[in-house]
Structure 1
Amino acid sequence: MKGLFKSKPKTPADLVRQTRDILIYVDRNLNTRETKREEKMAELNKLIRELKQILYGNSETEPVSDACAKLTQEFFKENTLRLLIICLPKLNLEARKDATQVVANLQRQQVQSRLIACDYLEANKDLMDILVSGYETDMALHYSAMLRECIRHQSVARYVLESDHMKKFFDYIQLPNFDIAADAAATFKELLTRHKSTVAEFLSKNYDWFFAEYNSKLLESTNYITRRQAVKLLGDILLDRSNSAVMTRYVCSRDNLRILMNLLRESSKSIQVEAFHVFKLFAANQNKPPDIVGILVANRSKLLRLFADFKLDKEDEQFEADKAQVVKEIAALEPKDLP
């Protein structure tokens, strides 16, 4: 007889609605007795785990696209995402991990060929303020994982790039907690490399303050890892064709050249190699300003000596060709009259 009264399995939409109801309860933090609160939290943890299972599948079953679409549609119909983000600190560690994975997956789910997460975030961009500021809380690694998935959407990345939050990343990258600092560096890189046209526009409009901060706080940092990551990312940015206007401007600055020449003299081979990839842009510039030529001519013998001994651990034909070209350019320089 028992089997006749089994409850109907919950649909993906039911799961989302029940999750939303409990999140509203948790958010309001009603003064209910402790036992009831614990029951609600246990139920919430279970629901979030079930949502994750629908989106990711498990060891026995693959995710079903129709179920994923229905779950996604219900999730963004009302403010479930906002509630989940706001209530994240109140969840236990396991539920936080599950919630982070749910939010990440939802950014990629299509409903009738549309990424509806993008539409929702465009209308709720203030959620990015919470996620970025998460670096200043003990939610840092959960919120940042959500943030990196959200900035897959170009309009969302543009919002973060153009916000005051971008200035904060220069400090987040230098936080004393290594894991959080490394995570902030990963998000910073994603913001500056994923959406080419948006990044080029941002760098052109914000050139002065951005590179002033980049040079002083990252390239001239006392922290070895910060310097190494920064010079590598700088090379990735300047060598990207979409940033050619920014690159042309960067290699006409004597301050930038001075910093790169100091990085070339570092004892770390990996920093030297990354610095070389940026330095070669200064040497290759066919319209070098007179003061850049002056610096290169004044340091010619030191630079040529440095490059004579400059070898990679593994043979690399492209590196050797680039180095030969740089040596040729520097050797052929004639001092220009300074204005």
Structure 2
Amino acid sequence: MKGLFKSKPRTPADIVRQTRDLLLYADRSKSLPDLRESKREEKMAELSRNIRDMKSILYGNSEAEPVAEACAQLTQEFFREDTLRLLITCLPKLNLETRKDATQLVANLQRQQVNSRLIASDYLEANLDLMDVLMEGFENTDLALHYGAMFRECIRHQIVARYVLESEHVKKFFDYIQLPNFDIAADAAATFKELLTRHKSTVAEFLTKNEDWFFTDYNSKLLESSNYITRRQAIKLLGDILLDRSNSAVMTRYVSSRDNLRILMNLLRESSKSIQIEAFHVFKLFAANQNKPADIINILVANKSKLLRLLADLKPDKEDERFEADKSQVLREIAALEPRDLA
């Protein structure tokens, strides 16, 4: 007889709907003080199980690979209503393990296609204010890494990255990168890099419109930071940005600035070899510019002997033919320079 009353297995859509109800409960539970603590704990445990089950459907587990049909059903139901908003809002009420599961769940959902569409992108386009909520999470030490990972996955979508770049949020990264908590600062730096390198056309458009304030802040807050790690990450990222073909117009203007050249020459004199090497990759753009302004030429001429000596001694730890070829070219360019009259 027992077999007649077996409960039907839950579909992925059922799990999402139940999770949504439990998240609504978690969201309201603070304002309902009459609820018994034991009942609240039971509901929160059930919510944790559901989030873990959804993660297993999307990632698979030790016994089974993910099933495409189940993933599609789960994704469709998840974005049909405001489950993502509820999950983000309720994250502080979840325990640490469930927060980790929720973060991985949100990350995977950004990549799930249903009928060849990334429906997470469509959902976020209609709910861009969620990025404001995630951004605030960087300021909460307990939640910053979870919100930061979700934020980074969401900016995989170009429409979302554009929203962030066009908002005031982008300015906050200059401060988040220098937070005293090393893990949060490193996470913010990884997100900043993703924001400035993933979507080439959007980044080029952003830099063209905002290069004056952006590079002023970049130079003073990051390249001239008192923190060694901040300087090292910033000079590496600057090289990635300027050497990208999409940003060639921005690069040409950057290497025409005497202030930028002064900062790069200081970085070339750093005691850290890794900073020197990364600084060289940007400095070579100043040297290779065939239309150098007269003031740039005169700075290079005034420092010619020091630069030739410093660059001659600069060698990466591992043999690098490309680096040596670039260095020889830069040495030739600088050696051949003659002073110019300023117009």
Q: 1:133 Cα shift?
A: 1.4
Instruction: Give the equivalent residue in structure 2 for 1:95.
Output: 98
Question: Cα deviation per residue 1:57-82 (whole Å; 9 max; x = unaligned)?
Answer: 10110000000000000001110000
Question: Cα deviation per residue 1:91-137 (whole Å; 9 max; x = unaligned)?
Answer: 00111011111111100111111000000000000000111111001
Q: 1:334 Cα shift?
A: 1.2
Tell me how far apart the structure 1 counterparts of residues 96 and 316 of structure 2 sit (CA, whole Å): 44
Tell me how far apart the structure 2 counterparts of residues 199 and 336 of structure 1 sit (CA, whole Å): 35
Instruction: Give the equivalent residue in structure 2 for 1:130.
Output: 133
Q: Does residue 42 of structure 1 match 2:72?
A: no
Question: Cα deviation per residue 1:132-170 (whole Å; 9 max; x = unaligned)?
Answer: 111001210001111111111000011011110100000
Tell me how far apart the structure 2 counterparts of residues 101 and 307 of structure 1 sit (CA, whole Å): 46
Q: Does residue 11 of structure 1 match 2:11?
A: yes
Instruction: Give the equivalent residue in structure 1 for 2:200.
Output: 196
Taking structure 1 as the reference length, what is the TM-score of the superposition? Answer: 0.99
SS, match of residue 80 in structure 2 = coil
Tell me how far apart the structure 2 counterparts of residues 212 and 320 of structure 1 sit (CA, whole Å): 31
SS, match of residue 16 in structure 1 = helix
Instruction: Give the equivalent residue in structure 2 for 1:24.
Output: 24
Tell me how far apart the structure 2 counterparts of residues 312 and 110 of structure 1 sit (CA, whole Å): 44
Q: 1:5 Cα shift?
A: 1.3
User: Matched residues, percent identical?
Assistant: 83
Could you tell me which amino acid in structure 2 is paired with residue 44 of structure 1?
Answer: L
Tell me how far apart the structure 2 counterparts of residues 133 and 247 of structure 1 sit (CA, whole Å): 32
Tell me how far apart the structure 1 counterparts of residues 249 and 239 of structure 2 sit (CA, whole Å): 14
Q: 1:2 Cα shift?
A: 2.2
Instruction: Give the equivalent residue in structure 1 for 2:187.
Output: 183
Q: 1:311 Cα shift?
A: 1.5
Q: Does residue 62 of structure 1 match 2:60?
A: no
Q: How does 1:142-181 map to 2 (within 5 A)?
A: 142-181=146-185
SS, match of residue 255 in structure 1 = helix
Q: How does 1:1-339 map to 2 (within 5 A)?
A: 1-29=1-29, 30-31=32-33, 32-137=35-140, 138-339=142-343
Q: 1:3 Cα shift?
A: 2.8
Tell me how far apart the structure 1 counterparts of residues 44 and 298 of structure 2 sit (CA, whole Å): 68
Tell me how far apart the structure 1 counterparts of residues 16 and 314 of structure 2 sit (CA, whole Å): 59
Taking structure 2 as the reference length, what is the TM-score of the superposition? Answer: 0.98
Could you tell me which amino acid in structure 2 is paired with residue 107 of structure 1?
Answer: Q
Could you tell me which amino acid in structure 1 is paired with residue 147 of structure 2?
Answer: Y
Tell me how far apart the structure 2 counterparts of residues 134 and 76 of structure 1 sit (CA, whole Å): 22
Could you tell me which amino acid in structure 2 is paired with residue 167 of structure 1?
Answer: K
Tell me how far apart the structure 2 counterparts of residues 309 and 220 of structure 1 sit (CA, whole Å): 24
The number of residues matched between the two structures is 339
Could you tell me which amino acid in structure 1 is paired with residue 287 of structure 2?
Answer: A
Could you tell me which amino acid in structure 1 is paired with residue 14 of structure 2?
Answer: D
Could you tell me which amino acid in structure 2 is paired with residue 62 of structure 1?
Answer: E
Q: 1:4 Cα shift?
A: 2.5
Tell me how far apart the structure 2 counterparts of residues 308 and 110 of structure 1 sit (CA, whole Å): 53
Consecutive unaligned residues of structure 1, counting only runs of 5 or more, are none
Tell me how far apart the structure 2 counterparts of residues 242 and 66 of structure 1 sit (CA, whole Å): 38
Return 112-121 or 1-10, whichever deviates more.
1-10
Could you tell me which amino acid in structure 1 is paired with residue 126 of structure 2?
Answer: A
Could you tell me which amino acid in structure 1 is paired with residue 175 of structure 2?
Answer: D
Could you tell me which amino acid in structure 1 is paired with residue 340 of structure 2?
Answer: K
Could you tell me which amino acid in structure 2 is paired with residue 271 of structure 1?
Answer: I
Tell me how far apart the structure 1 counterparts of residues 243 and 290 of structure 2 sit (CA, whole Å): 16
Consecutive unaligned residues of structure 2, counting only runs of 5 or more, are none
**Runs of 4+ more than 3 Å apart:** none
